[in-house]
Every structure is written in structure tokens, then in C-alpha cells.
């Protein structure tokens, strides 16, 4: 019991230290393609008669829907494993006087990674309300969602298999299945507090965890975020870093699921001079002899194609086939991840 309390106090201390500086709000998966709100075309003859900024705005299809294609072939020796993970995002909303926004959000992955067949997996599904004021924004989310996930900023520079390992086996996003969280942001700091329980649905039983989340940013070149899930028996937490030492270099560091089965994920990306391609190095390890590995690869931005080579232990793709699963096995992966809609992404 004493160890659990020590873990809880340590994570709480980390969270409060994170609140000491400036910060920036975390983008969700869908928000990686930011677009202005569209309105229906207006006849030029009527423009003088209609307000240029309507009081009530409804989301345009390019704001409210996105579709990504993702597929790969992972080869280890003579064993080839094809995989897929297309992504569908739906985010309709209504905005009143550019102050209050009410929306519904869901992101869906269609994947067969580590599964006997293709399954539709809901990454998140929640309703949200947001109020914009002169100095701060306030929001509330209810449903299933992730409160913090920096790997989303790096997903285009990760092999698809690495990204899915990070999300599903390392719990990088801390996707709470049933939660309500209130947040505030001033454009530099984001902080939130809420409550979560296990299980699906939009009801609460009173047997769950308190959630704390904080983000900070230093001059746009360093971002840190932390999330803590705690009750009177146990505590879990994660800390994420993004460092951008130069315009062409990005570093991701994630310390995940502290208090449970700890995992570390790191990624270094060097964008080539024309920013049309990149070289990326990824490495990861899970405690207790879990999934561990690393790779280096080349990524072509406009086509979405990539090729990586590396080694992995306890590969989820081959966990029931490989007799040497406790040893590192080399692999090569070819894949493509391409945004299909909207084209402006």
C-alpha cells in the first residue's frame, strides 16, 4: 500500500511541476489537418444583403470528415505478414457567434494487426462543448477519448506496425473508454481534470479514477505533457516530450504506463532539405520482457510510401509462430500511408 501511495505522490508531483510554465494545446488525430470553417457558397448579387460572418456555422465536409489509407507488408526471413490500418475520422460541429462550439467526434481504425481477422476498432467517440473567451478557452468532453498522445504528431514518420504497437500494446494514448473531462487553455497552457471508468457506454458507476492532464510549451521548440490516472488504490501515468532543436529535426520521447507495465518509445526524424522526404529512427522497449525493437527508414512525403529495416522481439505479428520469440529477429517493412480526403491535408 505504501508503494502505491509513493507512486501516486510522485506522479502528482510531476503533474504539478508541469503546470509551472507555459504550454500549448494538444492536437487530436483529426486536428492534424486544420482548416477554416466553410460555409455554403453565396450568390455575389446577395453578398451585400448577407452577413459575411454568419452567427451560426455548420461544419463543411472538409472540416468534418477525413480518410487515410494505410497498408504494409512486414517480412522476417521468408515469413511475410500483410497488414492494413485505414483511418476514418468524423467530426461534425455547429459553432455559434464564433464563441461556442458543440461537436461530435469519432476516429475509427479498420485493422488486422495482431488479429486473426480484420476488425473495426473505435479509437475514440465523444461529444464536446467548447467556449472561446478573450483570454482562455474552456471545454468539456464526454465519452471515449484520448487526453494526450504525442505519437500522433509523428505517425507519418513511423512504420505502421510501430504506430500500432505504441497505441495498442504500450497504451500511448491512454484512451479512456468512458470519461468526462473539463479543460482550459490560454494558447500557451492546457490543463484538465476529470473522471474515468472502464467499460463501454455513457454511464458511470462511481468506481473509477480521477484524471489529471497538463501540457506546456517553451517557445515552440520544446513541448511536454503529462497525464495521471489515480484512485485510492493505484495510480498510472505517462509523460511525453517533443523537442525540435532545428527546423529539420524532431525528437519524440514517451515514458508510458508508469505504475503498470512500463514502456518507452523514442523517435528521431530528420527532414531532408526540400521537406519532401525524411529519415527516421525509432526505438522502443516494454518492461517484463515485452515487445522491444528498433528500426531506421526512409519516408517519401508526397506519395506516403516508406521502407524500414530493423529488429524486434516478441513481435505481435508473429507471437504464436516464432519459436525464437524471446530473441530479436530482423525484419523489413514496406508500406504506404496516404491521406485521401480532404486533398488539402
Ordered by start, the domain boundaries in the chain are: 2-338
Write 267-272 long-range contacts (CB < 8 A, 24+).
267/151, 267/154, 267/157, 267/158, 269/154, 269/157, 271/247, 272/248
Helix (H) or strand (E) holding 64: helix 61-64
Confidence band for 137, pLDDT divided at 50, 70 and 90: very high
Confidence band for 345, pLDDT divided at 50, 70 and 90: low
Cα separation, 223 vs 214, in Å, equals 11
Cα separation, 261 vs 20, in Å, equals 28
- pLDDT for the residue numbered 319: 75
Q: Give the residue from 335, 299, 310 showing the smallest Cα distance to 157.
A: 299
- pLDDT for the residue numbered 47: 44
- pLDDT for the residue numbered 134: 87
Cell of 131: 467556449
More confident residue, 11 or 128: 128
Contact in structure between 344 and 83 (CB atoms under 8 Å): no
For 81-102, what is the mean pLDDT?
A: 94
What pTM does this model have? 0.82
pLDDT exceeds cutoff 50 at 39: no
Average pLDDT, the chain: 84
pLDDT exceeds cutoff 90 at 240: yes
For 143-155, what is the mean pLDDT?
A: 93
More confident residue, 14 or 271: 271
CATH class for the region spanning 2-338 = mainly beta
For 283-304, what is the mean pLDDT?
A: 96
- pLDDT for the residue numbered 49: 44
Contact in structure between 244 and 252 (CB atoms under 8 Å): no
Cell of 53: 460572418
Q: Work out the percent of the chain whose per-residue pLDDT is above 70.
A: 82
- pLDDT for the residue numbered 53: 65
Q: Would you tell me how many other CB atoms lie within 10 Å of the CB of residue 264?
A: 16
Cα separation, 226 vs 182, in Å, equals 16
- pLDDT for the residue numbered 74: 96
More confident residue, 169 or 39: 169
- pLDDT for the residue numbered 115: 80
pLDDT exceeds cutoff 90 at 34: no
pLDDT exceeds cutoff 90 at 54: no
- pLDDT for the residue numbered 23: 36
Q: Give the residue from 84, 111, 112, 161 showing the smallest Cα distance to 331.
A: 161
Which residues, in sequence order, are CB contacts of 179 under 8 Å at separation 6+?
A: 141, 142, 143, 144, 145, 147, 194, 195, 196, 197, 211
Q: Work out the percent of the chain whose per-residue pLDDT is above 90.
A: 66
- pLDDT for the residue numbered 113: 87
Specify the range with the lowest mean pLDDT, choosing from 3-12, 111-120, 253-262. Answer: 3-12
Write 195-200 long-range contacts (CB < 8 A, 24+).
196/229, 200/144
Degrees (nearest 5) of the Cα angle 242, 26, 94? 160
- pLDDT for the residue numbered 209: 95
Cα separation, 272 vs 257, in Å, equals 33
Amino acid at each position: 500500500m505504501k508503494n502505491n501511495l509513493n507512486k501516486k505522490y510522485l506522479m502528482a508531483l510531476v503533474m504539478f511541476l508541469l503546470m509551472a510554465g507555459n504550454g500549448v494545446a494538444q492536437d487530436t488525430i483529426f486536428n492534424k489537418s486544420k482548416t477554416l470553417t466553410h460555409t455554403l457558397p453565396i450568390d455575389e448579387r446577395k453578398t451585400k444583403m448577407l452577413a459575411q460572418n454568419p452567427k451560426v456555422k455548420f461544419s463543411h465536409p472538409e472540416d468534418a470528415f477525413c480518410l487515410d489509407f494505410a497498408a504494409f507488408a512486414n517480412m522476417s526471413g521468408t515469413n511475410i505478414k500483410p497488414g492494413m490500418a485505414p483511418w476514418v475520422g468524423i467530426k461534425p460541429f455547429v459553432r455559434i457567434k464564433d464563441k461556442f462550439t458543440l461537436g461530435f467526434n469519432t476516429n475509427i481504425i479498420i485493422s488486422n494487426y495482431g488479429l486473426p481477422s480484420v476488425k473495426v476498432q473505435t479509437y475514440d467517440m465523444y461529444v464536446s462543448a467548447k467556449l472561446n473567451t478573450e483570454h482562455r478557452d474552456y471545454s468539456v468532453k464526454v465519452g471515449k477519448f484520448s487526453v494526450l498522445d504525442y505519437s500522433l504528431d509523428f505517425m507519418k514518420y513511423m512504420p505502421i506496425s510501430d504506430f500500432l504497437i505504441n497505441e495498442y500494446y504500450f497504451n500511448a494514448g491512454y484512451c479512456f473508454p468512458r470519461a468526462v473531462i473539463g479543460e482550459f487553455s490560454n494558447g500557451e497552457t492546457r490543463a484538465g481534470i476529470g473522471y474515468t471508468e472502464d467499460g463501454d457506454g455513457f454511464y458511470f458507476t462511481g468506481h473509477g479514477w480521477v484524471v489529471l492532464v497538463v501540457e506546456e510549451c517553451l517557445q515552440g521548440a520544446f513541448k511536454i505533457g503529462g497525464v495521471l490516472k489515480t484512485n485510492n488504490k493505484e495510480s498510472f501515468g505517462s509523460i511525453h516530450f517533443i523537442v525540435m532543436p532545428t527546423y529539420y529535426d524532431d525528437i519524440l520521447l514517451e515514458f508510458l504506463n508508469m505504475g503498470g507495465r512500463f514502456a518507452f518509445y523514442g523517435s528521431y526524424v530528420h527532414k531532408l532539405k526540400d521537406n519532401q522526404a525524411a529519415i527516421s529512427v525509432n526505438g522502443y522497449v516494454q518492461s517484463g520482457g515485452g515487445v522491444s525493437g528498433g528500426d531506421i527508414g526512409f519516408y517519401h512525403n508526397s506519395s506516403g510510401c516508406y521502407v524500414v529495416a530493423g529488429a524486434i522481439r516478441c513481435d505481435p505479428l508473429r507471437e504464436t509462430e516464432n519459436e525464437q520469440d524471446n530473441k530479436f529477429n530482423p525484419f523489413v517493412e514496406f508500406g504506404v500511408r496516404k491521406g485521401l480526403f480532404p486533398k488539402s491535408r
